[in-house]
Structure 1
Amino acid sequence: MVLPSGFTVPPLPALAVLLAGVAAAAVALARERPPLTDRTVLAFAPWMALGSAAYVCYQLDLLPAAVTPFASAPAVYGSTFVVAVAVWLGARRTDSPKRVLAGVGLLALSVPVALTARYGTMNDSFAPLWPLFALLAGFLLGAVCWVALRRFRPADARAVDGAGALVLFGHALDAATTAVGVDALGFGEQTPLSRLVMEFAAGLPTAPTLGVGWLFVLVKLAVAVAVVALLADYVREAPTEGFLLLALVAAVGLGPGAHNLLLFTVATP
C-alpha cells in the first residue's frame, strides 16, 4: 500500500480547523526554518507511523467522537503534521531536541497501538504471528538493501546516513506487510499500481507456489534503493532540502507499513 484506501473529507467545521492548523504550522516552519539533519529525520520516525496507527483506530471505531473527524484519511496526516511541528518547534527550546521529539512521538504512538491491542484482545481477534513475521522480514530486507547500498555506493550511503536507512526499512516494511497481507491473510491490495504488479505476478508460473507478493517486494525495494541513491547528490548539495525529501519518502513507506502491521494484528479480510 502507498496510501490507505477509504479517503473521506471531514465535516466542514473540522476541515476548517485542520486547514487553519496546517497553515499555522507551515507559517511557523517558514519563520523559524529549523535545520533538518539525518538524526532529525530518525527522530520523526514515530510520527511517520502515528498517523497510520491513528487511522487504524478510526477504521475500528475506537476514537471519541470529537477526535474522529481528525483521524480519517487523509485528514489524519494533516493532524499529525500539525502536532509534530508543534512538538518539534517546542523541542528545539530544550537541551535535547531530537530526544524530546522522538520520545513524545513514541508516547503518542503508544496510544493507538494500545487501543488497537485492547480491541483485538476484547474481540478475540488478536493474531500477531503473521504481522510479527512481516516485521522481521521488513527488518531483514531493509538491512540487506542498506548493506548493498553501502557495498556498491558507499559515498551515497554516507551522504544519506540514517535517513537513507530509514527509507529502506520503511519501504521494506510496507513491501513485507503487503505481501503477507495478500498471500497469507487474504487482504486485497488497494493501490492500483501495486495491484497491477501483483496481477502480473499472478500470471507467472511461480504464482501457485510463491504467491503474488514476491514480485511487488522486489519492485518496491529496487525503487527504494534507486530513490535513495538518486537523492544522495541532493543531500550533498542542499542538506536541509535533501533530508526533507528523504523524510517524505520514508513516511510514504513507513506509514503504510505501520498501518498494515497494526491492522493485520487485529482484523480479518
Structure 2
Amino acid sequence: MVGGLLPAGTTLPPLPHLLVVLLATGGVALALRRRRPRVTGRRVLALAPWMALGSAAHVLYVVDALPPLLAPFAGSPTVYLTVGALAGAAWLAADAARPDRVAATLAGAGAVLLVPVVAVAVGTGISLAGARWSALALALTVPIAGAAWVGLTRLRPETAVTGGVGALAVFGHALDGVSTAVGTTQLGFGERTPVSRILLEIEGLPSVPVLGEGWLFLLVKLAVASAVVWLFAAYVREDPAEGYLLLGFVAAMGLGPAAHNLLLFSVAA
C-alpha cells in the first residue's frame, strides 16, 4: 500500500552507492552545522541552478545516458541527496574562500555544473516537438507566475517579506503546473506522483488551449504554493535563516520537477 503512495520510478541504489551518498550527505550536514554559514535570501536564491542540476541529472538517468558507475547516484530519490551534498559542499567552500561573495560563487558553481549536464542530455537527441512545447510552457509560465505573485502580495502584503525566494517558489510551482499539464495533454506523458495523477485524471473538465484539462492541476499548484508562501511570511520575518531555507525547499519542490519536465520533453517526447 505504501508503494502505491510513492512516485513511480522510486528506487534505491545498490548498497555501496547508498552508503557513499549517506556518508557524504551526513558529513556535509555536520560540517554545515558546525560552521553555520550565514543564510540570506540571496544565498538561497543562488541554489536555483542546483535545483535544476538534480533534475537534469535525473533526466540523464531516465534516458540511460550515464555511465553505470554514476547512474545510481542520479536515480530518484537518491539524486536529491547527491546534489544536496554537492551544493552543501560548494556552500562551505564559498563561505570559507570568499564570505562576501557566497551567493555569486554558489550560483556560478551550480551553473557551471548544470550546463554540461544539459549539453549531454541534448546530445542524446532533440525532439523538436517536445522542445517547442517546453519553450511554450516556459513562456506561458512567466506571465502566470507574475500575475500570481503580484496578486498574492497585494492581497496579503505581508508576503512581500519573503522576497525573491517567495517569488521563486510561486514561479517554480507555476512552471511545474504548466509543464505537467502540457506534457500530459499535448505530449502524452504520464504523471508519476499519485496525488497529481488524480487531479489530472478527473473526467468531465472543460478543455482549454495548451493546458487541456490540466488547468485544474495548475490552479491547485498555484493556490497551494501561494498559501505556503503566505504562511511562511511570519517565519521568515521572525527567523530569516530557517524561514528562507525551508521556503527554498518549497521552491525546489516546484522548480526541480518543472526543470525535469522541460528537459525530458525536449529530448524524449
TM-score range, shorter chain: over 0.9
1:49 aligns with 2:75: no
1:195 corresponding residue in structure 2: 197
CA contact (8 A) 2:173 2:225 kept: yes
Q: CA RMSD in A?
A: 1.7
1:71 corresponding residue in structure 2: 74
1:217 corresponding residue in structure 2: 218
TM-score (structure 1 length as normaliser): 0.92
TM-score (structure 2 length as normaliser): 0.92
Cα distance in structure 2, aligned partners of 1:117 and 1:234: 40
CA contact (8 A) 1:4 1:73 kept: no
Which residue identity does 2:24 align to in structure 1? Answer: G
Unaligned runs of 5+ in 1: none
Task: Please identify, of 190-199 and 49-58, the stretch whose mean Cα deviation from structure 2 is larger.
Answer: 190-199
Which residue identity does 1:130 align to in structure 2? Answer: W
Give the Å deviation of 1:68. Answer: 1.0
Cα distance in structure 2, aligned partners of 1:230 and 1:42: 19
Residue 101 (structure 1) aligned to one of 100, 103, 106: 106
Aligned length: 261
Unaligned runs of 5+ in 2: 1-5
Deviations, residues 77-132 of structure 1 (Å, cap 9, x unaligned): 111011101101111121411101000101111122101111114xx667410000
Give the Å deviation of 1:208. Answer: 8.3
Which residue identity does 1:37 align to in structure 2? Answer: T
Alpha-carbon distance change, 267 to 4 in structure 1, aligned in 2, over 3 angstroms:
farther
1:167 corresponding residue in structure 2: 169
Which residue identity does 1:88 align to in structure 2? Answer: W
Q: Within 5 A, what are the aligned runs for 1:247-262?
A: 247-262=248-263
After TM superposition, the runs of 4+ consecutive aligned structure 1 residues lying more than 6 A away are none
Cα distance in structure 2, aligned partners of 1:26 and 1:32: 10
Alpha-carbon distance change, 36 to 185 in structure 1, aligned in 2, over 3 angstroms:
same
Deviations, residues 44-89 of structure 1 (Å, cap 9, x unaligned): 0000111111000011111122211111111111110111011011
Q: Determine what percentage of the aligned residue pairs are the same residue.
A: 52
CA contact (8 A) 1:53 1:262 kept: yes
